[in-house]
Chains A and B, each alone.
Chain A
Amino acid sequence: MLSHLPILQVVVPLLAAPACLLLDRSRLVWIFTVLACGLSLLISMLLLYQVSQHGTLSYDLGGWDAPWGIEYRIDLLSAYVMLVVSGIATLVIVAAGTGLEREIPLEKQTVFYVTYLLCLAGLLGIVATGDIFNVFVFLEISSLATYALIAYGRDRRALWAAYQYLIVGTIGATFILIGIGFLYSLTGTLNMQDLAARIPDSAGSRTASTAFVFIVVGVCLKLALFPLHLWLPNAYAYAPSLVTAFLAATATKVAVYLLIRLHFSVFGEQFASSSLPLHGILLTLGLAGVFVASLVAIFQPDIKRLFAYSSIAQIGYMIIGIGFGTAIGLQATLLHLFNHALMKGALFLALAAVVYRLGSADISAFRGLGRRMPWTMAAIVIGGLSLIGMPLTVGFVSKWYLILAAIEAGMWPVALLVVTGSILAVVYVWRLVEAAYFQPPENELPEGLDGPDRREAPLTLLVPTWLLVLVNIYLGIDTRLTVGTSGAVASALLGGGQ
């Protein structure tokens, strides 16, 4: 049983999805989905434990050896990312029990859970597989599910946002497929291990470089690297709040994982840095992303959109880490990948609670919220502080390593730009804080028939939110798990490191 864990990780949500259709009673379906997600979280933990104890796991699908069959390969990096994905997925789906009722009509909920599980299966599959074509397949599964999830949004603009993402996402996937095709024609294999062994032989060949460029651009579309981010704000703003929480914490993280995997494990740092000035490009785009997106975020009246732009900025930080091309920089990226999932998960879940009560995430809805929903607002404040990078939160840990990486690389200006970026985060977080704690509630309107309900959010939403908030603090103090794992991964991928 334990030896089948790598495939079970993907099979459990994949099979749970159609099973939901059979149950077809929304409460039952919810419980079943929670169980399925919880099971995959359990599997991730076991996998991480196994990998950290015994090293990389390799699993041949159907017993066929690697070049012919598909290999599933779980190393420390994939186990680490799977832990984030399944952990967030579980917490979000727990919150969905009540959180969905205001956003998705009852009759559509079963289908929602099916789509959600499919999306999870796709994301976990991307991380688990060791076969590059299989990556593409799972990417499509998760992407198609994501388009549908976004389109569940109440606002009609959600359809447009989903359509926009569909177009851009398909272009990205096509690019990746083209790159894979080139690689196959060049090397005759789709297994990542074999690819990594054969690509250095054809270094300098135009086909390999072209493949690399297609793949990097395709993946960067999926991870919303500035200036390929245009699909993201609409998608996050108009999707149902819980979907936003799930996507923000997982989908882009998996895309970053993919970039790291392809860049460092398949092509190798040597190839990547010699075939084109990738480091410079990533650093520049990352920094530009941080500043442009943070500045735009400051002026967003819609808070979901504000945090969507903030996500683009945070992705910029992750890309900067890769751009240093050092082990410690990569470690910073990996730390921020994990930590950002925690902060954004907490923030978007808290926003879901606000939307649940007030029906809107507009800044005006937040007026006086500090008194009406004290726990939800406190969660937002702590999540925001983590985003800024205050000590004793996870944000501080990522920031520390990112700045350390910049200084060790001798790039002082980059270090100063990174910290200046967090000042912008202070500005957009504090707009929210001031609205919630300093402005009187906007409507002393008569409590109309459907007047927004302004009590503290229900426990089913608060508990997952606060669990994430507490993890934000706990992992900000006890950093052994994240720092240890990311350090080991970074040194395995690049050699050296701390």
Chain B
Amino acid sequence: MNLSVIGLMQAVLVIPLLAAAGVALTGMRPNLREGVSLVAGALLVAAVGLLYQAVMAGDRSGWTLLELLPGLTISFRLEPLGMLFCLIASFLWVVTILYAIGYMRGHGEANQTRFYALFAVAIASVGGIALADNLLTLFIFYEVLTLSTYPLVTHAGTDKARRGGRTYLGLLLGTSIVFFLPAIIATWALAGTLTFTEGGIFGDDTPPVLLSLLLVLFVFGIGKAAVMPFHRWLPAAMVAPTPVSALLHAVAVVKAGVFALAKVGVFIFGLDTLGSLAVTEWLLYLVAFGVLAASLVAMRQNNLKARLAYSTISQLGYISLGVLLATSAGLLGSALHIAMHAFGKITLFFCAGAILVASHKTEISDMRGLGRAMPLTMAAFFIASLSIIGLPPTGGSWSKWYLILGTLEAGQWLLMGVLMVSSLLNIAYLLPIPLKAFFPANGTAGYGSGEDSGIREAPLASLLAIMITTLMCLLLFFFPQPLYELARSIG
């Protein structure tokens, strides 16, 4: 049993890499190439599914790949939080490939082989992050993820893409080198280990001042979590093709950030230590400010993808907030929100891409009345918005429930207020989009049915992907148990 679990974990890392190689080799034949990606995705989901059962059965096996520096290894271990992340990323990878097949062809993008290959490499590094047993391993795959997604962000090769790529790389590499790496090395110097351990690794005699400094370095160093003021890379990354924005910048990359933050909070500091540090309080308020500020900025964006990007920044703040509350309900809410937000936001991005492919529209003000031409897409947009806002009958309501419970447990009334206000802001910047699409105000020209305007639903593959993720948003409301059980067994 033990051996096969390790084999499965290795498969999680190797399958996407093999897929990348396969994609590169079959680049001449697009159908075969996408076939390779889909088969690899299916295999990955199967492997992760089996691992899920092992985790629920209490299996925590791990193995060491190699010793990089004396005492510092590249090791992996099965663990519920990582499992959750792995589960979501691998499942959504398959769906995104499906979506990308429709999108990339419909949009006539160049260099598709490079695109699919790097996508697979990015998923492999997500696997590495999710299964990492220590900070060093996590850091290595974190950096690989940054570098492998850079060519995806700059896919278009235009000046705008280059500038976006600069911000992307500059902020992500910059924060990781200037804050994250020194924090890791200092942790190593202080604690003598980097292995994720329940209850944290720091001895009781470590001075709180140093711990506070380290926490600040970690929170700002994990730039992928997009804590203000290091959030600018996320809107900049929106120059990427939509499937990239969808999977990487609503799921894989940003969730890698908050996931790393959660790992550090739970397994490096330990919730008790985290809650006892004075600086945590300040960081909480900073994050809460970010949640509101990003929502306000989102309201003013007319470009759909930009609005979604700022919404993501705000939602990532929820997750960081849940971790920093250092209560079990907060952590539970964070873990659930990693999943719920992933399904909701990826659907929204899919819709944005579908609208772009079908009607070449990127600005929200142009989407009035689009509901008649693209009813399915807009309906999906509506449901996913509900999930982001946190209203039943969508999965998002559960995570928000536990997050608010977390603020109550910690006695942070102000933060509860912030979450409430933010929900209202979500309503204000998300719901008008589908509503105006279906019910354009009198006097403004709507888009007629497909025949009149020439606009119709996105390609079938893309539409199918949208349906799947929308369905998941709904299903997770009625059947949240598998994720709940997983999230509850963390730490």
Contact = CB atoms under 8 A, between A and B. Distances in A.
B173 A426 contact: yes
Interface of A: 385, 388-392, 397, 399-400, 403-404, 407-408, 415-416, 419-420, 422-423, 426, 430, 434, 437-438, 477-479, 483, 487, 498
A438 B157 contact: yes
Nearest to A402: B185
A154 to B, nearest CB: 33
A407 B182 contact: yes
B143 interface: yes
B169 A404 contact: no
A391 B139 contact: yes
A108 B186 CA distance: 54
Given A408-B189, A434-B162, A403 B182 contact: yes
B177 interface: yes
Contacts of A426: 169-170, 173-174, 177
Contacts of A415: 182, 185-186
A49 B147 CA distance: 38
A426 B66 CA distance: 28
A404 B188 CA distance: 8
A400 B72 CA distance: 11
15 contacts: A391-B139, A391-B140, A397-B69, A399-B181, A403-B185, A407-B186, A408-B189, A416-B182, A419-B178, A419-B182, A423-B174, A426-B174, A430-B169, A438-B157, A478-B66
B185 A400 contact: yes
A390 B182 contact: no
B334 interface: no
B189 A389 contact: no
Contacts of A391: 139-140, 143-144
A120 B144 CA distance: 38
B145 to A, nearest CB: 11
Contacts of A487: 70
A407 B210 CA distance: 12
Given A479-B69, A483-B69, A407 B162 contact: no
Nearest to B71: A498
B74 to A, nearest CB: 9
Contact of A483 (B70, B162, B173): B70
A390 B69 contact: no
B70 A477 contact: no
B166 interface: yes
A396 to B, nearest CB: 8
Nearest to B161: A438
Contacts of A385: 147
Contacts of A420: 178
Given A385-B147, A403-B182, A422-B177, A498 B70 contact: yes
A30 B161 CA distance: 47
Contacts of B170: 426
A388 B139 CA distance: 15
Contacts of B154: 438
A397 B181 CA distance: 12
A390 B189 contact: no
Nearest to B74: A477
A400 B68 CA distance: 11
Contacts of B189: 404, 407-408
Contacts of A392: 140, 144
A407 B189 CA distance: 7
A416 B178 contact: yes
Contacts, number: 66
Contacts of A498: 70
The 8 lowest CB-CB distance pairs between A and B, nearest first, are A391-B140, A438-B162, A403-B185, A419-B178, A407-B189, A407-B186, A404-B185, A415-B182
Contacts of B147: 385, 390
Contacts of B69: 397, 400, 479, 483
B181 A477 contact: no
Nearest to A415: B182
Contacts of A397: 69
A430 B182 contact: no
A391 B68 CA distance: 10
Contacts of A399: 181
Contacts of B186: 407, 415
Interface in B112-163: 139-140, 143-144, 147, 154, 157, 159, 161-162
A399 B139 CA distance: 14
B462 to A, nearest CB: 28
Nearest to B213: A412
A389 B188 contact: no
Contacts of B162: 434, 438
A423 B185 contact: no
A440 B147 CA distance: 22
Contacts of B185: 400, 403-404, 407, 415
B139 A419 contact: no
Given A404-B188, A407-B189, A430 B174 contact: no
A477 B74 CA distance: 10
A399 B180 CA distance: 13
A159 B217 CA distance: 50
A450 B181 CA distance: 49
Contacts of B188: 404
B178 A477 contact: no
A237 B58 CA distance: 62
B157 A477 contact: no
A419 B68 contact: no
A407 B183 CA distance: 10
A33 to B, nearest CB: 37
Nearest to B141: A391
B186 to A, nearest CB: 5
Contacts of A438: 154, 157, 159, 161-162
Contacts of B181: 399, 403, 419
Nearest to A328: B189
Contacts of B157: 437-438
A430 B166 contact: yes
Q: Which of A391, A419, A479 has the most CB of B within 10 A?
A: A391
A483 B157 CA distance: 40
Interface in B63-93: 66, 68-70
A426 B161 CA distance: 18
A167 B68 CA distance: 45
A290 to B, nearest CB: 14
A496 to B, nearest CB: 15
Given A388-B177, A423-B177, 6 more contacts: A392-B140, A400-B185, A415-B186, A423-B174, A438-B159, A479-B69
Contacts of B139: 391
B175 to A, nearest CB: 10
A331 to B, nearest CB: 11
B148 to A, nearest CB: 12
A323 to B, nearest CB: 18
A18 to B, nearest CB: 45
Interface string B372-405: 0000000000000000000000000000000000
A437 B151 CA distance: 10
Nearest to B140: A391
A399 B136 CA distance: 14
B182 A423 contact: no
B154 to A, nearest CB: 7
Contacts of A404: 185, 188-189
Contacts of A400: 69, 185
Contacts of A483: 69-70
Contacts of A434: 162, 166
A487 B169 CA distance: 34
B294 to A, nearest CB: 25
A430 B167 CA distance: 12
A128 B177 CA distance: 38
Contacts of B66: 477-478
Contacts of B161: 438
A479 B68 contact: yes
Contacts of A408: 189
A420 B140 CA distance: 19
Nearest to A425: B177
B479 to A, nearest CB: 39
